[in-house]
């Protein structure tokens, strides 16, 4: 009887850590994962300290490609960003912020079994649903946002995030402007703006390209601060605040 009790106690002692560590959604394992994310891509942001709000759309194209719109972001170290994420596709999608290596590791795990994230750097949405991720980019470098649901990354659902070392460097590229005209169907917006220092262009009124998510949050007569860059040879609004 004594031997049986000893064996029972030993079995419980060996198996107890597995219960204590938790699952993908909580426990000690989740705390360790959160610490790792804080070292790599930044940390969970404070809603009261948001510097900018970015609209992100997740969808599928007619030819089967899976997309994020916009497909890339440029932030400054220390910025707190609210990502307003909307799933306009027909399938379930997610957005996960991490390094390229971190997403690759996580994607490999999800290929073995579909795990739903419940971390501050991610959100999963059914078709037609919306949600948000608030994130502070504490580290400079190159990061990635991606959908890690099996098969989605391979179908094109990932993009790059570049975080500059200094906030001032990013702010220099913003220019004040006023929206004169919007052609949502053509993906164009006409803006009366000040000098575009990063493009070495004087103040004038010009037509810019913009993606669907950006145009959806614009209105004629609206005063904005924006960044314009050359994307595939076209002057494009890449950031708005």
Enter the pTM of the model: 0.57
CATH value at residue 226: 2.40.50.320
Token pair in block for residue 33: 């994962």
**3-state secondary structure at position 38:** helix
Give the largest CA-CA distance in the chain. 91
Do 134 and 179 share a domain, yes or no? no
The structural domain count of the chain equals: 2
Do 46 and 150 share a domain, yes or no? yes
Do 225 and 128 share a domain, yes or no? no
Do 93 and 194 share a domain, yes or no? no
190 vs 41, which has greater pLDDT? 190
Token pair in block for residue 135: 């994130």
Of the three residues 136, 168, 200, the one that is the final residue of a domain is: 168
User: From the CB of residue 180, how many other CB atoms can be counted at a distance below 10 Å?
Assistant: 15
Compute, in degrees rounded to 10, the torsion defined by CA atoms 90, 83, 116, 152: 50
Which pLDDT tens digit goes with each residue over 4-33?
A: 444 444 443 334 333 333 334 444 444 544
Cis omega before residue 129 (within 30°)? no
Do 62 and 180 share a domain, yes or no? no
Q: Is residue 217 part of a domain?
A: yes
Which pLDDT tens digit goes with each residue over 195-233?
A: 888 888 899 999 999 999 999 999 999 999 999 998 888
Which contiguous run of DSSP H or E holds residue 5?
helix 2-20
Mode of pairing for the β-strands spanning 130-136 and 175-183: unpaired
Closest to 93 in 3D by CA, of 41, 151, 42: 151
Of the three residues 168, 197, 232, the one that is the final residue of a domain is: 168
Residue 37 has a pLDDT of 47
Do 53 and 160 share a domain, yes or no? yes
Tell the burial category of 18 from Cβ atoms under 10 Å away from its Cβ (0-12, 13-18, 19+): exposed
> What is the span of the domain harbouring residue 207?
172-240
Backbone angles phi, psi at 219, to 5 degrees: -145, 145
Q: Is the model's pLDDT at 112 over the cut of 90?
A: no
Q: Is residue 11 part of a domain?
A: no
Tell me the Ramachandran region of residue 77: left when phi exceeds 0, alpha when psi lies from -120 to 50, beta otherwise.
Answer: beta
Average pLDDT over residues 166-181: 74
Residue 194 to residue 205: CA distance in whole angstroms: 9
Residues linked to residue 229 through DSSP beta bridges, in sequence order: 236
CATH value at residue 75: 2.60.40.420
Q: Is residue 101 part of a domain?
A: yes
């Amino acid at each position: 009887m004594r031997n049986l009790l000893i064996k029972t106690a030993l079995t419980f002692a060996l198996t107890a850590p597995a219960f204590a560590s938790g699952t993908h959604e909580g426990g000690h394992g989740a705390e360790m994962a959160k610490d790792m994310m804080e070292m790599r891509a930044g940390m969970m942001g404070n809603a009261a300290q948001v510097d900018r709000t970015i609209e992100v759309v997740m969808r599928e194209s007619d030819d089967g490609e899976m997309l994020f719109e916009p497909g890339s972001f440029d932030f400054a170290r220390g910025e707190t960003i609210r990502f307003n994420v909307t799933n306009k596709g027909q399938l379930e999608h997610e957005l996960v912020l991490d390094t390229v290596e971190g997403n690759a590791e996580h994607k490999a795990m999800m290929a073995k079994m579909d795990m739903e994230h419940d971390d501050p750097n991610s959100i999963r949405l059914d078709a037609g649903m919306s949600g948000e991720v608030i994130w502070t980019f504490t580290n400079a470098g190159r990061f990635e946002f991606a959908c890690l649901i099996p098969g989605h990354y391979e179908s094109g659902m990932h993009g790059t995030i570049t975080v500059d070392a200094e906030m001032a460097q990013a702010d220099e590229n913003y220019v004040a402007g006023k929206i004169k005209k919007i052609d949502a169907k053509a993906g164009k917006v006409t803006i009366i703006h000040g000098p575009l220092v990063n493009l070495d262009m004087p103040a004038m009124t010009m037509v810019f390209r913009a993606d669907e998510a950006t145009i959806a949050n614009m209105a004629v007569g609206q005063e904005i601060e924006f960044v314009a860059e050359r994307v595939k040879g076209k002057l494009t609004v890449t950031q708005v605040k």
